[in-house]
Amino acid sequence: MQIFKFGGASVKNAEGVRNLGRVVQSFNKGLIIVVSAMGKTTNKLEELVEIAHGGKDYREPLEELKAYHRGITSSLLEKIPLHYLELEAKLENTLSDLSQYDPMFAYDRVVPFGELMSTTIISSYLNEKRNFCCWLDARTVIRTDQYFSEANVDWVITERQVWEVLSSLIKEKVVITQGFIGSDAEGNSTTLGREGSDYTGAILAHCLNADGFTVWKDVPGILNADPRIMEETVQYARLSYREATEMTYYGAQVIHPKTLKPIAQKSIPLTVRSFLDHDLSGTIISSEGIKKDIPCFIFKGNQLLVTAQVKDHSFMDEKKLGFILQVLDLLNIKINLMQNSALTFSLCIDNKGFKVKRIKELLSRDFILSFEHSLNLATIKNYTPESFEKLPPNLSVIMEQKTANNYQVLYRSEDQDETS
């Protein structure tokens, strides 16, 4: 039994959907296809949430979203599927009364429509010529808590539901379902965090003891650096779960960070392959890794340095550090780099405005807080003496850390304005 995941870029137009059809055509059962929202739909839906939640006029972006999906649908199918039209109507209805809800709850009411629409269109396409697949609403099997927009999976209930619904069905048919979405105990829609479709694939693979999980991407496999940033890159033929987990931890946009644990627990191999060239073998992540360590470069922009300073001339001791870490845990904020001194604790995080606001609310009573915006973080995993030459020249270092294997530097690039 196999799980295939297709991201938004792979189904961003009608040709992408036809290509998906070619990838899956040899199956008639034993396959679950997990699909994201088409192209940049999730960004568009986020924009819609913001406008509609603020009580403003959202008609234009809504029409754009509909036109985009209808454009793809009409090049694939003769008739717009009824199920798709129902989704459009439901989305409109949902947007019309959004402002009454808490922002994150509102987000999770709207954003799942991207995945629901894409899978509806794609399953109609796949079923046009033959009765090929069965459409499943992932919210009926993936149970989460109520941490809206970054919900955590309830593994016990999810495992039971996945097993009950899917274990016999996949012996008869191919199943198509949505990545990224789930529901809470009250039946409200939830989402698993941006780019969470990989994670859904891994959850299903774990619960069903799949033989393999394949993520089809627009790159030939996993590279040691982002080719948009660095000229020379090397592709990994194999990676161990551990290596890949570390890469995602440092921010490599290889795979959603939560994806690896569920499949590693069951020793399920994960293959990252190109949907553009099906002959390439891609990168296999399994218990068996590479022999030689290749330096891996990870760059993250839009970093924020938060410095908390004690107010009462006491030390930044373990108790205070513990308190700060608890607050970050509560807000589900990941620290990308940290350093402490006698009176301060500095941490580098992704700059997400609404979370920064909450940090201020929760920490400014006990600490003097300062913020430095628009920074970059570079990580070299498995560095070699030569690899430092690949870092941007003239970077002004804000914070630096080196261990036996890894090097990290937080910097402001020369051309950046200090006040931005």
- Distance, in Å, from the CA atom of 168 to the CA atom of 218, rounded to the nearest integer, reads 32
257 is an interface residue for ligand ASP by CB under 6 A: no
**What type of residue sits at position 35?**
V
**Touching ligand ASP, residues 22-41 (CB under 6 A):** 36-37
In the complex, what is the shortest distance from the CB of residue 43 to ligand ASP, in angstroms, rounded to a whole number? 7
- Distance, in Å, from the CA atom of 371 to the CA atom of 374, rounded to the nearest integer, reads 10
Among 197, 259, 286, 303, binds ligand ASP (CB under 6 A): 197
Instruction: Judge contact between 297 and 378, C-beta under 8 A.
Output: yes
196 binds, among ligand ASP, Mg ion, none (CB under 5 to 8 A by kind): ligand ASP
Instruction: Judge contact between 123 and 35, C-beta under 8 A.
Output: no
Instruction: Judge contact between 300 and 343, C-beta under 8 A.
Output: no
| Size of residue set near ligand ASP by CB under 6 A | 12
Q: Which is nearer to Mg ion, 8 or 282 (CB)?
A: 8
Q: Which is nearer to ligand ASP, 119 or 224 (CB)?
A: 119
| Residues near Mg ion (CB under 5 A) | 8, 36
Q: Which is nearer to ligand ASP, 39 or 295 (CB)?
A: 39
Instruction: Judge contact between 1 and 31, C-beta under 8 A.
Output: yes
85: which residues sit within 8 A by CB, 6+ positions away? none
Q: Which is nearer to Mg ion, 69 or 412 (CB)?
A: 69
Among 114, 182, 251, 257, binds ligand ASP (CB under 6 A): 114
194 is an interface residue for ligand ASP by CB under 6 A: yes
Stretch touching ligand ASP by CB under 6 A, among 26-34, 123-131, 191-199, 388-396: 191-199
In the complex, what is the shortest distance from the CB of residue 40 to Mg ion, in angstroms, rounded to a whole number? 8
In the complex, what is the shortest distance from the CB of residue 251 to Mg ion, in angstroms, rounded to a whole number? 17
In the complex, what is the shortest distance from the CB of residue 23 to ligand ASP, in angstroms, rounded to a whole number? 17
**Residue of 278, 273, 280 whose CA lies nearest to 219:** 273
**Residue of 177, 263, 198 whose CA lies nearest to 7:** 198
Stretch touching ligand ASP by CB under 6 A, among 189-197, 308-316, 318-326, 391-399: 189-197
Largest CA distance in the chain: 74
Among 16, 39, 196, 251, binds ligand ASP (CB under 6 A): 196
Residue with tokens 């300073």, as numbered in its chain: 309
Q: Which is nearer to ligand ASP, 103 or 193 (CB)?
A: 193
Which backbone phi and psi does 274 adopt, to 5 degrees?
-85, 130
Q: Which is nearer to Mg ion, 198 or 246 (CB)?
A: 198
**Residue of 4, 353, 419, 354 whose CA lies nearest to 211:** 4
195 is an interface residue for ligand ASP by CB under 6 A: yes
**What type of residue sits at position 230?**
M
Instruction: Judge contact between 29 and 174, C-beta under 8 A.
Output: yes
112 binds, among Mg ion, ligand ASP, none (CB under 5 to 8 A by kind): none
Q: Which is nearer to ligand ASP, 139 or 381 (CB)?
A: 139
Residue at shortest CB range from Mg ion:
8
42 is an interface residue for ligand ASP by CB under 6 A: yes
270: which residues sit within 8 A by CB, 6+ positions away? 202, 212, 213, 214, 215, 244, 255, 259, 260, 263, 284, 285, 286
180 is an interface residue for ligand ASP by CB under 6 A: yes
- Distance, in Å, from the CA atom of 259 to the CA atom of 101, rounded to the nearest integer, reads 30
Q: Which is nearer to Mg ion, 215 or 306 (CB)?
A: 215
Instruction: Judge contact between 14 and 21, C-beta under 8 A.
Output: no
What residues make contact with ligand ASP under the rule CB under 6 A? 7-8, 36-37, 42, 114, 179-180, 194-197
